[in-house]
Amino acid sequence: MVQETIQAVKEAEQKADEMIRNASEQGRVLVEEAKLKAEAKKNETKKAVKEREQKAESDFVKEGEQILNKALEEAKQEAISLQETAKKRTKEAVSMIISELV
């Protein structure tokens, strides 16, 4: 009977040791999976941030181009207006010079 009790205790200890090893292995696996998931999430977040930065940069470039194009168009219109005014003034100046000469 004592022998059976000792054997039962040894078997219980072996099972307990095995359970501890299994729990340790499961814990190690869970930690490793958590690290992998965290790394993947970090990479995903970095990618999303980079995409947002690229989009913002692209938007700023487009906005800058629009502002530049508008300024160029305004400058063209101003140049045309100045040319027309100069033409009118040239005709007036020529007429005035001719009238002074006559």
**pTM confidence score:** 0.53
Q: What is the phi/psi pair of residue 45, to 5°?
A: -65, -45
CA dihedral 57, 58, 59, 64 (to 10 degrees): 90
pLDDT of residue 79: 96
pLDDT in tens, 10-26: 888 999 889 999 999 99
Report domain extents, the chain: 1-72
pLDDT in tens, 27-86: 999 999 999 999 999 999 999 999 999 999 999 999 999 999 999 999 999 999 999 998
Q: How far is CA 101 from CA 12, 88, 95, in A?
A: 130, 20, 10
